[in-house]
Chain A
Amino acid sequence: MIPELGHIILNAYLVLCLVGGILPLAAIFFNNAALEMPIKRVTTLLFSLITFSFLILIYSFLVDDFSVAYVAQNSNINLPFYFKFAATWGAHEGSLILWILAMNAWLIGFIFLTKCKNTYFLNTVFSISCQVMFAFTLFTLLTSNPFERILPIPPLNGADLNPSLQDIAFTIHPPLLYFGYSGLLIPFAIAVAAMLFNTDTKEWASYSRPWTLLSCSFLTLGIALGSWWAYYELGWGGWWFWDPVENAAFVPWLLSVALFHSLITSQSKGVFGKWSILLSILAFSTSLLGTFLVRSGILTSVHAFALDPERGLFILGILGFFIVGSLIIYSIKDLNQDHAGTYELNSKEFGFLLNNLLLVILAISILFGTIFPLIYEAITDGKQISVGAPYFEIILFPFALALGFLQGIALYLSWGSSSSFSFIQRVFLESISVFVLILLILYILFDNLYLTSFITIFLACWIAAGTLQVSKKRNINYWSFLKKRLAVTFAHVGMAILVLGVGVVSSYSLEKELILAPGDSFEFGDQIVSFESVEDSLGPNYFSKSANISFKDNQDDTNVITEKRTYVPSGQLTTEAGIIMEPFQDLYISMGDNLEADIWSFKVQIKPFIRWIWLGALLIAIGSMLAGIKQIRRA
């Protein structure tokens, strides 16, 4: 009966969300205090309900209750318990519950930590959030109920969790990403409330800023972990594929970055008010749009959930209701958002304007490339195309260049107008010296310099120099100044490290596919790679062939195992890459096909600086997290 309890709780949650979505608004509209709700308590109650329901689903997985269809389809009796746990959000139904839970968690944070005297405003944000949570819960219950039973005769074993999802990074990657996506609900709800009450720009921007920063931080972590997971789990050493699902996360990330930069201006100077509102709506709607594209199965992707037009229709309905609704308010309401303030071309405001412009146009271009196959199919009546990765690279490069250039000088700009641009010379000299130093290191490490990587590497130096040297324009202690700017330093230096990683890995990588028999060895870069032996091994729910490979250079000799696994219930094959991590490079080998007896094909790669990409992303996430926490404390 426990799954039924979960179902009942979810229904109760639905009803309470509906009440919470209507009553506080009615109280304001009819000016009737009797209709008001104690929103702190209601939010807590809502949160306990959804958490309880989620725990019940986890419980059903842990005890192998295969009478629950969702459990039967996504778990198996032989699955290790931690993967049973993670399987809860391994497919569509469970991940929706997690999503709702995440939205509710953000709402709790907002309601309890925002020091806002205007109860009308708070109640409205609460109500709008409740409406969104109601829509998601209704969607879950009507089209994707995770508690549905297979009765009367449940299967004995359950199918299985998709083998490539049986992985430690996967257990944390989706929750982080869902928290990132759902966090954008708060800025959205605040933007709608701000429109309804015509709230002062400086005021509402200060409520919105911390939550935008925190969602951005979670999105960054989620995307980085996903990229890391794809790198070692899919077995081919790529770290970004421009897959529709990746784009669906990248676009909201770009917009959330644009949004918190715009909110800085709105909060400090009271300008860009309407723009920030529009951007809040846009960021939230692209996060919904991403869900729609993935869950409706209309775009091909490695991550595709089962094809289901009905679900797609429902999500489209939710998307339509909230986005069109808020955009209607935006278009008819006479918003008087901007404070009178003027700025020059050389001002910080204009810097932020350019930053936003570049980020938003980039986001729209990527979104366009992602959905273009759909548009094309609709126009040409069924002709199918795909847009290749080079499209996105061509688009990204000039925008990244311009953004990086701006990032190097951004911290020197002053509000209103900047008096002097003498710093450019200094930043330039410093970045040149760092650049030369890095080239020297690269030359020592890899005996080679590639012209193609110069622009990206210089850009990284430019950003780093511009971020770290910013204090010198004032006569105060360098470290205490840096400490004051800890968050932005983390984030911007993180971006520099990420750019450096991308620049090096895309030019200095080596790869080779070849056939080896046990005992064979060959020279690869500065390494001697030998295929020593291959043996059979057995895991809890798979059997595998594992190859023992050694990498030898003039200093040390390291062994690594790469595996070809066959998962038992599904018979699905997966490749487990063997990776040796060094600070400056990864040695990467993956097993290909078995050609005869013990002869196998392999793909060997050397990936210099690849770890720096994720390190950079981690620093960005830490930076925006710090900034978010600081903003909450200050508010």
Chain B
Amino acid sequence: MKKLLDTLPLVIFVTLIIVLFSFLSNEDNQLETVLIDESFPEFSLTSLTDTTKILAKSDISELPALINVWATWCIACKVEHPFLMKLKEESILPIYGLNYKDNRNKAIALLKADGDPFEFSIFDFEGRLAIDLGVYGAPETFFIDKSGVIRVRHVGVIDDKVWKEKFAKYLDE
């Protein structure tokens, strides 16, 4: 009886930890499984720089490529911007921008001021393509392979380390 009482705190705590753990791993899966290994969704949206030009999936023609979700209101995007510029300058692979819930003029101004690493940017004001992609927020980066399939998704700032760990191996394939 006495021993049983002594194990009670242990039992309660282990239960609590298991509950919290199951919660965390749920969260994790939700984020990771969205659209991985599926082909990039169809869309029809205007170009950031040209309101009359309608872009579609077929415009993402050079593959493999990166799709980078960005916005002027997103601070972390500014942090990763130099890295995207570097990818562009070293012509490692083409990058397509997905301008997410943003102000068109501000976005164009930002690219003018800081440099434009993108082949073109899709203007997704209502976040329609972003919803299809399961975007949580900005920045996020997707890697699309030669056949147009999403292989990697990265939430947060992309830099040298993330590139090496998560993306580089797919580029070599």
Contact = CB atoms under 8 A, between A and B. Distances in A.
Nearest to B159: A150
Contact of A330 (B9, B22, B81, B157): B9
Given A309-B31, A330-B10, A374 B82 contact: no
A316 B160 CA distance: 28
A153 B159 CA distance: 10
Interface in B62-117: 73, 75-76, 78-79, 81-83, 85-86
B24 A316 contact: yes
Contacts of B172: none
A316 B6 contact: no
Contact of B83 (A153, A328, A570): A153
B17 interface: yes
Given A159-B75, A331-B3, A378 B83 contact: no
Contacts of A155: 78-79, 81-82
In which size bucket is the chain A interface?
35 or more
B19 A378 contact: yes
Interface in B23-48: 23-25, 27-28, 31
A570 B75 contact: yes
A278 interface: yes
A166 interface: no
Given A320-B17, A323-B13, A331-B3, A150 B23 contact: no
A106 to B, nearest CB: 24
Contacts of A278: 9
Contacts of A309: 24-25, 27-28, 31
Interface string A287-310: 000001000101000000011011
A374 B10 contact: no
A525 interface: no
Nearest to A571: B73
A114 B25 CA distance: 43
Nearest to A282: B9
Contact of B17 (A150, A316, A375, A571): A316
A528 B75 CA distance: 43
Contacts of B24: 296, 298, 309, 312-313, 316
B14 interface: yes
A331 B6 contact: yes
Interface in A316-375: 316, 319-320, 323-324, 327-328, 330-331, 371, 374-375
Contacts of A328: 10
B23 A378 contact: yes
B131 interface: no
Contacts of B9: 278, 281-282, 327, 330-331
A606 to B, nearest CB: 37
Contacts of B147: none
A488 B24 CA distance: 43
A72 interface: yes
A569 B20 CA distance: 37
A152 interface: yes
10 contacts: A69-B157, A73-B76, A73-B79, A150-B82, A155-B81, A278-B9, A306-B156, A307-B136, A313-B24, A374-B20
